[in-house]
Amino acid sequence: MEDVLALYKQPYDEKHPVVCMDESSKQHLRETRQKLPMEPGKPERYDTEYERNGTSNLFIFFEPLRGWRRIDVTARRTAEDWALQIKKLVDEDYPDAKKIRLVMDNLNTHVGASLYKAFEPKEARRLLDKLEFHYTPKHGSWLNMAEIEFSLLSRQCMNDRMNDRDYLTQEVTAWVNNRNSIKSEMKWRFATEDARIKLKHLYPTL
């Protein structure tokens, strides 16, 4: 925990960026009846019945000190899918970085072995050499600021029924573009001293 909190206190360093990543899923719900359009004094109305239309996965990479984020909507969330996202992070998002300090939870796909599943050993090693993994503790995924960004996305963008992946991608892309255009940053205010008091149960007893 203190490892992650210490990262958040460090000044911005474009050669050693602190990037938070997370994953989430979204169920697609298709309307079974025509919506009633908005009228003066009445909001848009739709029937409570719907038809399930599969799910999509969302990968988010969020650099809080720069106010930048990327969200990709995918069909799956396998180890290979994660590895492809990491390659994009290294080669396209941060090609000039010396070391990307990546904050994430302990999902079983979030490991170097996933890169070896997706790529030849030499390529996997190249990518790993550009990364420094920082895991949030068990039951402490809320320390990952990407999870907070996902919460904002859910409230501001995904309240509506997303009937398919194309529509979800369109809405998420518009939201990301807007947030990036204003460089919406996030500053972490929860200090290590606070953690020792409020989260005493997570610290070992000596």
Segments making up each domain of the chain, as ranges: 2-28+49-202
Are the C-beta atoms of residues 176 and 71 closer than 8 Å to each other?
Answer: yes
Query: pLDDT over 70 for what percent of the chain?
Result: 81
Query: pLDDT over 90 for what percent of the chain?
Result: 50
pLDDT at 116 over 90: yes
Q: How many CB atoms lie within 10 A of CB 96?
A: 6
Q: Which CATH architecture has domain 2-28+49-202?
A: 2-Layer Sandwich (3.30)
- pLDDT for 186 equals 77
- pLDDT category, 46, cuts 50, 70, 90? low
Long-range contacts of 107-113 (CB under 8 A, 24+ apart): 107/23, 109/77, 109/78, 109/79, 109/82, 110/21, 110/82, 110/135, 113/79
